[in-house]
Amino acid sequence: MFTLYKNAQLYTPEKQGKKDLLVWNDEIFDIGENLRIPAGYEGEEVDVNGKILMPGLVDTHVHITGGGGEGGFNTRMTELTFDEAVSAGVTAMVGVLGTDGYSRRPEDVLIKCMALNEQGFDAYMLTGSYTLPVVNILGEVAKDVLFFEKIIGAGEIALNDHRGSCMGPEELLHIACDVRNGARLAGKKGTVNIHLGNYLGAFKTLLEVAKTDITLRAVLIPTHITRTKYVFEESLEWIDFGGHADITAGSDSSAQALEFLYKRNGHLNNITMTSDACGSLPTFDELGNLTGIEKGTSSVLLEDLRKIMKNGVIPFETAILPITKNAADAFGITTGSGTITIGKKANLLILDNEGNLKATILNGKKVYNA
């Protein structure tokens, strides 16, 4: 069955202007002006009426089985649901384990990842957790990446955080090399997602590893770079070195940081924004005592996008790159997620001109309607 979206302000994520988009079952069939449903075929015509039509969001840091537990058994977060994802506009994701690699296991994340794929999402995962040695399924990180199609790297592994194992440059180097080797054999990009804590010097470690072997620069993806002012300031040297960096959406400084980087560099290359959805968002005092905890949600991605649209500093087609194409490219997702491309899956969002989500289309089917 065909579905024809008429009169859309289309972003692929590049700005295309006013276009029509034709979907055949679950794939993009055609993009152009004055399109029609082919004669003799059943179809539905949807007048988008000048609203924004863009790719579904790619959220590459989601605790799909739930995170947390830093405050005891009652602070374990619940797993991601279908409705949580589609109501936030997320159609592709990368699952991570997080703090608890003891009572929660990568096997749980893998099963949840496969369940999400059965629901229609473009879902992947990373093996490992905060601590060392890196927890995995087959006994070696490289084997997990090699033998499981949906495992595309390791993470999130804690660096300079009191919940981790105080990983140093040599240990990070070994993990990155193992991921790279497994990924090469499997024909994947291979990534190591690194949780940044509050200690000083995290990017000194990252730079030492990447300068030891420049090919590892593209493997290492630090996240939470806006956790503190000094962590963000340290990240600039890494970004200038050509490293990838990830901003966690939803904080007081996340949208501002994206605007700062755009004004500073004139682009957002190698920058992504993720939600930390279903993870715990704990706060600690100076001695590491838990003072509060909340659950992350993917809805913060569009919340930050609306702030950026309102401020008008970053063009819309650039502002959506960190939550669409950049995210897919960073993790080597080649299925078309993060873009609107003829022949690829029809994972789409319809937004009004203020950035409010009006509809989520997953594999050509409307699964959320505001």
CATH of the domain at 344: 2.30.40.10
d(CA 68, CA 75): 6
131 and 29 in a common domain: no
Kindly state the tokens that stand for 161: 């955080």
The total domain count for the chain is: 2
197 and 181 in a common domain: yes
- Residue 312's pLDDT band, with cuts at 50, 70 and 90, is very high
121 and 38 in a common domain: no
Domain span at residue 306 reads: 57-330
Residue 248 has pLDDT above 90, yes or no: yes
343 and 321 in a common domain: no
Q: Which residues contact 93 (CB under 8 A, 6 or more apart)?
A: 58, 59, 60, 62, 64, 80, 85, 116, 121, 122, 123, 124
At 210 the pLDDT is 97
DSSP state of 311: H
115 and 99 in a common domain: yes
Residues of 3-19 as b/e, b for ≥16 C-beta within 10 angstroms? bbbbbbbbbbbeebeeb
149 and 91 in a common domain: yes
Catalytic residue among 276, 285, 304, 329: 276
255 and 323 in a common domain: yes
* Whole-structure pTM value: 0.95
The pLDDT mean for the chain works out to 95
Q: Which residues contact 173 (CB under 8 A, 6 or more apart)?
A: 209, 212, 213, 216
Residue with tokens 């600690």: 284
Closest of 126, 130, 121 to residue 58, by C-alpha:
121
Higher pLDDT pick, 293 / 61: 61
DSSP string, 37-92: PPTTS-EEEEE-TT-EEEEPEEEEEE-TT--B-TT-GGGBPPPP-HHHHHTTTEEE
d(CA 11, CA 1): 24
Residue 156 has pLDDT above 90, yes or no: yes
69 and 110 in a common domain: yes
Parallel/antiparallel/unpaired status of strands 57-62 and 90-95: parallel
pLDDT in tens, 11-24: 999 999 999 999 99
Residue 187 has pLDDT above 80, yes or no: yes
CATH of the domain at 203: 3.20.20.140
CA 353 to chain centre: 23
At 34 the pLDDT is 94
Residues in the chain: 370
At 63 the pLDDT is 97
d(CA 114, CA 237): 38
276 and 250 in a common domain: yes
Half-sphere exposure of 129 (CA within 13 A, CB side): 26
Kindly state the tokens that stand for 28: 């993009």
Distances 352 to 8, 53, 83, 330 between C-alpha atoms, Å: 11, 9, 20, 28
Q: Is residue 30 flagged as an active site residue?
A: no
d(CA 326, CA 268): 9
Give the number of other CB atoms < 10 A from CB of residue 186: 17
12 and 136 in a common domain: no
DSSP string, 220-285: EEEE-TTSSHHHHHHHHHHHHTT--EEEETTSSSHHHHHHHHHHHHSS-TTEEEE--BTSEEEEE-
- Residue 70's pLDDT band, with cuts at 50, 70 and 90, is confident
Residue 293 has pLDDT above 80, yes or no: no
Distances 123 to 95, 114, 120, 331 between C-alpha atoms, Å: 7, 7, 9, 12
